[in-house]
Amino acid sequence: MDFTLSEEQLMIQQAARDFANNELLPGVIERDDAQKFPFELVRKMGELGFMGMMVNEKYNGSGLDTLSYVLAMEELSKIDASASVMVSVNNSLVCWGLQAFGTEAQKEKYLTRLSTGEVIGAFCLSEPEAGSDATSQKTTAIDHGDHYILNGTKNWITNGGSAEVFLVIAQTHAEKGHKGINVLIVEKGMEGFEVGPKENKLGIRGSDTHSLNFNDVKVPKENRIGEDGFGFTFAMKTLAGGRIGIAAQALGIAAGAYELALKYSKVRKTFGTEIANHQAIAFKLADMHTKIQAARNLVYQAACDKDAGKDYTLSGAMAKLYASEVAMETTIEAVQIHGGNGYVKDYHVERLMRDAKITQIYEGTSEIQKIVISRSVLKD
């Protein structure tokens, strides 16, 4: 196993680091406070190629591998996890899904604009009663010959208020269970499609999370991705890759908090010396560093599995499970090392701690990752 990065991968990593420090850092506290979605920053990330990283150049993407994407996600997430979740959803759930399974016409019409950040995408699977239990879709897409009529509600949709292209999972043939589910491309502004109120969240407050309502929305059949009944497989295959992106986000949050804590421990003095000289603090840093490196190995391994064309469902789930646990533990410790200052917004670690929590929930909770992992382990 050799994770030596190529010249190109090192360049991507540096470009993401520079962008995060120069463009995301200023204003990150204010955006978090005001729950402000940074349209201008998304446009800039699009110009730099971060919105369609794994998309073929033919469709205006950057044509990069998954490891490059993971490196960029890690750097962006060290500074601003709200920005990085938009990048993650657009890249792994929307662009990747369209590139892998869309028709040529769908790619021309939607992917070419999603991969430049000209428009943003959203992935709409979760419902009030279908979060973890994703096969229990209540949203319906009834077949009317050349179009579907879509009805239902989706919840907790990242980019919900700012996206223009929505991949909506819905039940067409209830009697067939998950084999009767479809995925449709819905555009903002289609009659009967309403964006619900914005959620007031604990973390990733700069990202835009809404419920969505579909009331007799007429969606042309050419907007269905894949064969009739392919929707649930589409969601599972897409989420398997999405989980690598969220694992990289968790890794970045953990590494960002660790770097701040390390720096602080070398300047903050108590009892006549820098706190890093107290074993209680030094041992915390040792634990944090070790766990972050272990998480990084799992995340890079999952990305390399995907790039090598191997099955990455198991490695992606393990990476997400572990990296999100490390993000939570590490950010709590980073706040502790900062003491009273850690509880204050100016020092960034309390925000990273709040942001870390969602990585154990979205794109499959830790408990769902354990279902995926245990089923894989037991089948051998």
Q: Kindly tell me which residue out of 132, 215, 270, 290 binds ligand CAA, with binding defined by CB under 6 A.
A: 132
247 sits near ligand CAA (criterion: CB under 6 A): no
Query: Would you say 138 and 129 are in contact if contact means Cβ atoms under 8 Å apart?
Result: yes
Q: Kindly tell me which residue out of 44, 109, 178, 198 binds ligand CAA, with binding defined by CB under 6 A.
A: 178
372 sits near ligand CAA (criterion: CB under 6 A): yes
Secondary structure (3-state) at 211? strand
Q: How far apart are CA 55 and CA 43, in angstroms?
A: 17
Shortest Å, Cβ 175 to ligand CAA: 15
Reading the block at residue 214, the tokens are 């579909």
Nearest to 88 by CA among 199, 288, 283, 250: 250
The residue among 52 and 160 lying less far from ligand CAA, judged by its C-beta, is 160
89 sits near ligand CAA (criterion: CB under 6 A): yes
Shortest Å, Cβ 162 to ligand CAA: 13
Shortest Å, Cβ 327 to ligand CAA: 15
Query: Would you say 223 and 184 are in contact if contact means Cβ atoms under 8 Å apart?
Result: yes
Q: Kindly tell me which residue out of 188, 198, 237, 289 binds ligand CAA, with binding defined by CB under 6 A.
A: 237
Q: Kindly tell me which residue out of 87, 134, 183, 318 binds ligand CAA, with binding defined by CB under 6 A.
A: 134
Q: Which residues make Cβ contacts (< 8 Å) with residue 210, sequence separation at least 6?
A: 157, 160, 161, 195, 196, 197, 198, 199
Q: How far apart are CA 270 and CA 156, in angstroms?
A: 44
Q: How many CB atoms lie within 10 A of CB 379?
A: 6
Options 2-10, 13-21, 71-79, 233-241: segment touching ligand CAA (CB under 6 A): 233-241
363 sits near ligand CAA (criterion: CB under 6 A): yes
C-alpha of 78 from chain center? 14
Options 53-61, 281-289, 319-327, 357-365: segment touching ligand CAA (CB under 6 A): 357-365
Q: How many residues bind ligand CAA (CB under 6 A)?
A: 22
Query: Would you say 267 and 90 are in contact if contact means Cβ atoms under 8 Å apart?
Result: no
C-alpha of 370 from chain center? 19
The residue among 111 and 368 lying less far from ligand CAA, judged by its C-beta, is 368
The torsion defined by the Cα of 23, 119, 121 and 209, in degrees rounded to 10, comes to 60
Binding to ligand CAA, residues 269-328 (CB under 6 A)? 313
C-alpha of 233 from chain center? 19
362 sits near ligand CAA (criterion: CB under 6 A): yes
Q: Kindly tell me which residue out of 6, 21, 135, 293 binds ligand CAA, with binding defined by CB under 6 A.
A: 135
Q: How far apart are CA 236 and CA 223, in angstroms?
A: 19
The residue among 123 and 264 lying less far from ligand CAA, judged by its C-beta, is 123
Query: Would you say 246 and 158 are in contact if contact means Cβ atoms under 8 Å apart?
Result: no
Q: How far apart are CA 54 and CA 144, in angstroms?
A: 35
371 sits near ligand CAA (criterion: CB under 6 A): yes
Q: Kindly tell me which residue out of 186, 240, 255, 295 binds ligand CAA, with binding defined by CB under 6 A.
A: 240
Q: Kindly tell me which residue out of 50, 96, 110, 123 binds ligand CAA, with binding defined by CB under 6 A.
A: 123
236 sits near ligand CAA (criterion: CB under 6 A): yes
Look up 363 and say whether it is catalytic: yes
Query: Would you say 337 and 281 are in contact if contact means Cβ atoms under 8 Å apart?
Result: yes
76 sits near ligand CAA (criterion: CB under 6 A): no
> 187, 329, 363, 367: which one is catalytic?
363
Phi, psi of 63 (to 5 degrees): 65, 35
198 sits near ligand CAA (criterion: CB under 6 A): no
Q: How many CB atoms lie within 10 A of CB 164?
A: 17
Q: Where do contacts with ligand CAA occur on this chain (CB under 6 A)?
A: 89, 123, 125-126, 132, 134-135, 158, 178, 232-233, 236-237, 239-240, 313, 362-364, 368, 371-372
Question: Catalytic site residues?
Answer: 363
